[in-house]
Chains A and B, each alone.
Chain A
Amino acid sequence: MLKTEVNELLTQTGPGTPAGNLFRQYWLPALHIEELPENDCPPVRVKILSERLIAFRDSEGRFGLMDEFCAHRGVSLWFGRVEEGGLRCAYHGWKYDVTGQCLEVPSEPENSNFCSKVQLTAYPLVKVGEILWTYMGDPANQPALPEFEFCDVPEEQTYTSKRWQESNWLQALEGGIDSSHVSWLHSGGLKSDPLFKGTKGNEYNLNDLRPFFEVAEADGGLFVGARRNAEDGKYYWRITPYVMPSFTIVPPRGDHPVHGHFWVPIDDENCWVYTFDYHPTRALTKDERQAMKDGYGVHSRNIPGTYRPQENKDVDYLMDREAQKRGETFSGVRGIAQQDASLQESMGPIVNREKERLVSSDTGIIKARQKLRKAVEALRDEGITPPGVDPAHQRVRSAAIVLPQAESFIDSARDAVAVQPGQAHVSV
């Protein structure tokens, strides 16, 4: 249970809101690089943190992200032309560069400097990995670029997809922290999904449906350990890092690539989900990459030309009751991503957390909310930079490991949950 005022504090991320200010301390994924594939390509509408923006890539390859609407009459610059180092409004030809600075107002005299006084709000847009990241906060406090490992490995070792989720960001993130649902909702996928199946860890998962949970603080957020019984009196641990504000890495399975998510609020009732898979030491195989494109693993199968999953609410998520009855899928919805999204969207656009009935196995969610709340309040009241801004906080890994019962998961796995360039992840 979360009181309404705290729920609103954490779920509202528009300009001027406390949680919106928190998100504006971080570099956030704004677009997939495939959306701006070449110089002078068409501009793209983007909404993040309840701000309507336009993204474009100019003739020199510079990326821009700025107010979607022309300063003149407020028309959308989506209709504009990307040409000769700027984006020109289709209505009267006003032209802007990637910093939002107006370069030309054609109706003014040739020697007028009026355009120098016209500036659209703009944010930096920088490619790191396959993602274009933006920072929407005070330029004076702009942090160093993100250093998540999935963005840092060679491109043949990583794959990122994107999907639209029709719910508030927080209920989506909470699904990533709550690993107790995996043995139920995703039980079908553990047996059959090409990016999951065939590992010893899956047997531990499916043989012990009542894991113990342990939550520990991390510099950038949390580590959530789920412990199940293994052989010879040992424990099988699955360790999920949560880096604030909205990044998680799923514990690995065997030598399969490692996957995770970054949730970015579009507005208070929608979010983007950036989903990645990477392998720290080898290229993804052709089959793995194809499986990711086909919506296996934690990726979605999107409607071509969009980021909307084919299994969406307008088609009842293509519910297949026969597959549910046969046990191929636990919920009747195909694919891990939309199994999660369908249930999280069913909560409503912003779930009323006063009505929930948490149990103690939800400790990870409780602690994550508490960390977010404290960070929001510390920023609002004292200007304290939140955890997760420092790139050092981002250099974490998930892990799956078998340990003697007496050993602490966080002590014994300290190296396993830190990025070790060139070394494989610790996985079972």
Chain B
Amino acid sequence: MIDSISSCARATTAEEARYRIDRPIAGRSARIIALDASAAQVVLRVAELPWGASKFYSDATAFDIEADLADADVAIMIATAAADAETASSIARACGERGIMTAGLVLGDLADVGDAVSALRPYARNLMVTEDEDDVAAVLIALRA
């Protein structure tokens, strides 16, 4: 039988979308690490929301690279004006060795957080500078953390 409707025309209708396979999607195991004291408060607040396999660290010195990165998919570093570049560097280096993606969120006005952005830039493959604390949760929800 010759079908007069193209494959793409048939496949892209709303009706056909109903037949997409509905396989459960596993969440990402994220490590959310505060790099300074103000960021720690943010991390503590966000950690109170319901999350999956992700873990939150309000004190970067308590982050045990060997143990805490063992089953991680992504490390997200949170900073404000005073990010600790040395900590960011050691976490990012460890992530690089383990093939773990790194991301950074710097909270504050761009004019005020330049140092933190500079500290994170070499180490966070994806970096967001934002004045909106809600973006931390938005990123984590989007990543199914």
A326 within 8 A of B: no
Most chain B beta-carbon contacts within 10 A, residue among A215, A346, A369? A215
Contact A366–B144 (Cβ < 8 Å): no
| Besides A342-B8, A352-B20, 11 new A-B residue pairs in contact (Cβ under 8 A), listed by A number | A212-B126, A212-B127, A214-B128, A216-B110, A345-B8, A345-B12, A348-B14, A359-B74, A360-B143, A363-B128, A410-B110
Contact B138–A346 (Cβ < 8 Å): no
CB neighbours (8 Å) of A217 from chain B are: 110, 129-131
Chain A positions 184 through 226: 1 when the CB is less than 8 Å from some CB of chain B, otherwise 0: 0000000000000000000000000010111111000000000
A166 and B141 CA atoms in complex are apart in Å by: 28
Contact B125–A213 (Cβ < 8 Å): yes
A374 within 8 A of B: yes
Residue of B nearest to A348 (CB): B17
B16 within 8 A of A: yes
Within 8 A of A (CB), among B1-56: 5-9, 11-14, 16-17, 20, 22, 25
CB neighbours (8 Å) of B22 from chain A are: 355
Contact A357–B144 (Cβ < 8 Å): yes
A216-B129, A345-B8 as given contacts; A2 in contact with B142, CB under 8 Å? yes
CB neighbours (8 Å) of A1 from chain B are: 25, 141-144
B112 within 8 A of A: no
Chain A positions 342 through 364: 1 when the CB is less than 8 Å from some CB of chain B, otherwise 0: 10011011101001011111110
Residue of A nearest to B111 (CB): A411
CB neighbours (8 Å) of B8 from chain A are: 313-314, 316-317, 342, 345-346
Specify which of B25, B117, B135 is in contact with A355 (CB 8 Å cutoff): B25
Task: Report B's interface with A, CB cutoff 8 A.
Answer: 5-9, 11-14, 16-17, 20, 22, 25, 74, 76, 101-103, 110, 114, 117-118, 121-122, 124-132, 134-135, 138-139, 141-144
Nearest chain B CB to A89's CB is how many angstroms away? 35
Contact A349–B12 (Cβ < 8 Å): yes
Task: Report A's interface with B, CB cutoff 8 A.
Answer: 1-3, 166, 210, 212-217, 269, 313-317, 342, 345-346, 348-350, 352, 355, 357-363, 366-367, 369-370, 374, 405-406, 408, 410-411
Number of interchain pairs (Cβ within 8 Å): 121
Contact B127–A213 (Cβ < 8 Å): yes
Contact A314–B9 (Cβ < 8 Å): yes
Nearest chain A CB to B118's CB is how many angstroms away? 7
Contact B114–A366 (Cβ < 8 Å): no
A212 and B12 CA atoms in complex are apart in Å by: 33
